[in-house]
Amino acid sequence: MVGNVAEVMAELEPADFYLLSGVEQGMRFSEWVNREKLPEYADLTEEEVDYRIDRCADRGLIQRKTIQYEGYQLTFEGYDALALRTFAERETISGMGAPLGVGKESDVYEVESFRPFALKFHREGYTNFREVRKGRDYTADNHHVSWQYTARKAAEREYGALEDLYPQVSVPRPVDHNRHAIIMEKLPGPELADAKLQSEQVVGVLDLVLREVDAAYRAGYVHADISEYNVAVSDDGVVIFDWPQSVETDHENADELLTRDVENLVGYFHRKYPRETPDVDTDAVAAAVADGEFESVRAVDEPGA
């Protein structure tokens, strides 16, 4: 787990951020930034670079490695600090709150603003960078790709999808974006996996989720990784979140991914609510969505209908 950098933000001085920004710039060209390049990248003197390296390293914001040269790299905490400073300068947020969720590919925190929002730090590539590179379109054509680039592109992809989808589709309202971080509305309720639906609610909630899948398709997107862990449920309805891996409907695999999303959803309901969930022809549901004809699972609840 990446540490919460908020507790050290107040200790940092403007020149510390010059050093962090210099390392960030250098990481565009190499995984480990040559110490000799840092005065140029950070616009600091040699002596100031040495001082700032010690301060940032002591706070876990950069790390050092000796290869053929003395090299430095941002940690995720260092990258977080740069994003938080930008959000603070824009007055998007005024403070950090408690963690809302921690996963392999993101950390989410409550943040203070004119009302509470959620801040999502993308962590793609932090634990398994090679697998993320192979699996994500936005890294496919780049020779030098760092975890920093991968996480930033994931955030860009997700924020762009949210901007395109909201408010036609029930997704978190996007508020701001910088580097690998997104500010958005907090989820209105628990994940579907943690919700306890009453018998009479099961089919209705399944229909609500599939209607949002349909609405997203009408807006030009397939989620491509939907499950019980990225659907929030509340008295007001459902919200579908986590869109970095989404594809546009003209993608060559869009319909295949749509079918997989439907299978994942229906499969979850069958496992958790086997008595209440009708038999559903998932291929027929996906085809109805793709054709703009989806109404409800009851309309296609007999396999082969």
Lowest mean pLDDT among 23-27, 103-107, 118-122: 103-107
pLDDT (0 to 100) of residue 119: 98
Beta strand residue intervals within the chain, DSSP E: 33-34, 62-66, 70-74, 95-102, 106-112, 117-122, 174-178, 181-184, 221-222, 231-234, 237-240, 247-248
- Active-site pick, 207, 225, 255, 301: 225
225 flagged as catalytic: yes
* Average pLDDT in the chain: 92
Question: Domain 6-77 carries which CATH code?
Answer: 1.10.10.10
Residue 300's pLDDT band, with cuts at 50, 70 and 90, is confident
pLDDT (0 to 100) of residue 298: 82
Burial 104-130 (b: 16+ CB within 10 A, else e): ebbbbbebebeeebbbbbbbbbbeebe
pLDDT in tens, 45-84: 999 999 999 999 999 999 999 989 999 999 999 999 999 9
pLDDT (0 to 100) of residue 3: 72
Residue of 173, 176, 123, 127 lying closest to 153 (CA atoms): 123
pLDDT (0 to 100) of residue 305: 43
As assigned by CATH, the class of the 192-300 domain is mainly alpha
Q: Is pLDDT at 133 greater than 80 in this prediction?
A: no
As assigned by CATH, the class of the 93-184 domain is alpha beta
Start-to-end Cα distance in the chain: 47
pLDDT (0 to 100) of residue 151: 95
**Interatomic CA distance for residues 23 and 73, integer angstroms:** 6
Enumerate the domain spans of the chain.
6-77, 93-184, 192-300
